[in-house]
Amino acid sequence: MHWRRSRSPADDLLDDRLEHARLAAADRALATELFYGCLRNKLALEFLLSQVATRKPRPVVAAILVLGLYQIFFLERIPAHAAVHETVELAKRRASAAEARFVNAALRRASSERDDLAAKLHATREREPWVYYSHPLWLFRRWESRWGNKAVMALCEWNNTPPPVYVRVNTLRVQQPVGAGLLRMSRGLGFIRDRAGSPLEITPTNHEHCFRVSEPAALVDSPAWGNGEFYIQDPSTLLAVDVLDPKPGESVLDMCAAPGGKTVYIAQKMKNRGRIIATDSSNVRLGLVVENCRRLGVEIVATLPCEGTRLDGCLRGEQFDRVLLDAPCSNTGVLRRRADLRWRIAQDEISRLAAIQLRLLEAAGRFAKAGGVLVYSTCSLEPEENERVVEQFCKTYPQFTLETTRSTFPPRDRVDGSFAARFRYC
């Protein structure tokens, strides 16, 4: 209910509630699963609600019913009778006695008719696939027109899967084994251990510095976290820095840098030699950059609170060997990690963001040295924010040569969606 009324991201709302709740680890994990699961499957759950509710309930009662329906239809490890009982008890605390009886009747019907209702929901996969996959109609249609039905359904399935957690090894702190030896050590590399000293299970990825972690809850409690031996980061977020390819001793401008995941990876690739200016419009968010640099042992970063299109007044003509603009975007490549974003983004937001991105890219180009590199990146899947911005920039600024573009598509690459374009200032 609070999520519906609030403009705050779901992650922030959940973190705030869990911080003040006295819950055991298992209960925290269940609360997280229920919250994000209901958001990811919002339209499917509303369809099921329409099948079992004899009348339209108040919003608070509808939210309670959806919580019970999610457990009955999407959580096999919770027995249906237990889901019904706990949800009715919640209704007794949050609604009237009559409404609690209504919840009880609706959920008992859902439980007894589960197979038939599940079949009805599955039938929407052909008739109204955006309902089955719980994505806004406009977004589903937009993607379908570009990639076709099979690809868009695969993308929606990806977005509805809880995301794994990846860590990037911080080679400023850790000497990392490579090659075949790394594959042989895929279980329990020594750099991440829990409080008892037992190694956590990790799995290599296609990126040499990134590993998938099986028990993410233990990460921030591990000694390696405090020692700055790793950073929690999806492999797709490394694409832009790999395309930037910074070298030790160079100067780098990192625009829109907060919270600093790319910044610290730039410093790692530079072996902590050279100079990085990390800018962001939010001084508060730049504090996260400072904290991440401190924990990971990064010593070559200076932060600058300034909005990207106004950097001229702050940097006064200074130029850099390499400039990275990780532009604010629609984030459609990371909907799996931001479960509520699909319900918040509006269709006209994409064109508005594209205009901002082009202005920021034009501003970023002013800081590239002759012969220097400029990289533009987003975590969007939308061509208006990616290829079209690049095309417009190339038309307006022919002194920049487009050297390469790279992108990731989640169903194909098994990582979040991202885009990066590299220019050379001639």
- 275 closest CA partner among 233, 329, 323: 323
Residue range(s) occupied by CATH 3.30.70 in the chain? 165-232
Task: Tell me the pTM.
Answer: 0.90
Catalytic residue among 38, 293, 306, 379: 379
Please state the three-class secondary structure of 67-115 as a single string.
Answer: HHHHHHHHCCCCCHHHHHHHHHHHHHHHCCHHHHHHHHHHHHHHHHCHH
Q: Which CATH class is domain 165-232?
A: alpha beta
CATH of 2-159, one of 3.30.1330.10, 1.10.940.10, 3.40.50.300, 1.10.3720.10: 1.10.940.10
Q: Which residues of the chain are in CATH 3.40.50.150 domains?
A: 235-425
Contacts of 336 (CB under 8 A, 6+ apart): 158, 159, 160, 161, 162, 163, 410, 416
User: Which residues of the chain does CATH 1.10.940.10 include?
Assistant: 2-159
Domain boundaries 235-425, CATH class: alpha beta
394: annotated active-site residue: no
DSSP 334: G
Per-residue pLDDT of the chain (426 residues; tens, 9 = 90+): 555 666 667 777 777 777 777 777 787 888 888 899 999 999 999 999 999 998 899 999 999 999 999 999 999 889 999 999 999 999 999 999 999 999 999 999 999 999 999 999 999 999 999 999 999 999 999 999 999 999 999 999 999 998 999 999 999 998 755 433 333 333 344 455 545 555 566 788 888 889 888 766 667 777 778 889 889 999 999 999 999 999 999 999 999 999 999 999 999 999 999 999 999 999 999 999 999 999 999 999 999 999 999 999 889 889 999 999 999 999 999 999 999 999 999 999 999 999 999 999 999 999 999 999 999 999 999 999 999 999 999 999 999 999 999 999 999 999 999 999 999 999
Name the burial class of residue 5, with classes exposed (0-12), middle (13-18) and buried (19+) by CB atoms within 10 angstroms of its CB.
exposed
pLDDT tens sequence across 164-175: 999 999 999 987
